[in-house]
Amino acid sequence: MIEGQFGFAAWDRHPASDGHFLVIPYRHFPSYFEINDEERDELWRLVAEGKKMVDKAYQPDGYNIGINVGKWAGQSIPHLHIHVIPRYKGDVENPKGGVRGVIPNKKLYNFQPD
């Protein structure tokens, strides 16, 4: 899909939705918190470039961007990767809470903006 000096973006092999892609560094390390600034900057640039491609191809209504760090956060592959998951109106009954849904009973909350 897209390549950089420190990493690349590629379609997820088991996509959660149309256009789901991963950004993966070349250097092997398990945690996002081990990445250096130069690598971090490029990986987030790849997220932005990939999003432009997905916008053009699929026209999603939103995105979830996520990184699992550690077994108890759901990390199943011990190599950093960033999920970029396009979202579409109606793909779930109630999208409120977004990434908070990783802990289902904490997803919905009563937030009142000022």
Q: Which domains does the chain have, with CATH numbers?
A: 2-106 (3.30.428.10)
| Predicted confidence (pLDDT) per residue in 7-46, tens digit | 999 999 999 999 999 999 999 999 999 999 999 999 999 9
What is the pLDDT at residue 114?
Answer: 66
Residue 48 has pLDDT above 80, yes or no: yes
In which band, very low, low, confident or very high, does the pLDDT at 104 lie, cut at 50, 70 and 90? Answer: confident
Mean pLDDT of 51-75: 97
**CA–CA separation, 80 and 62 (whole Å):** 23
CA 90 to chain centre: 20
- Catalytic site residues? 81
pTM, entire model: 0.92
For the chain, count helices (H), then strands (E): 1, 5
Q: Answer whether 42's CB lies under 8 Å from 6's CB.
A: yes
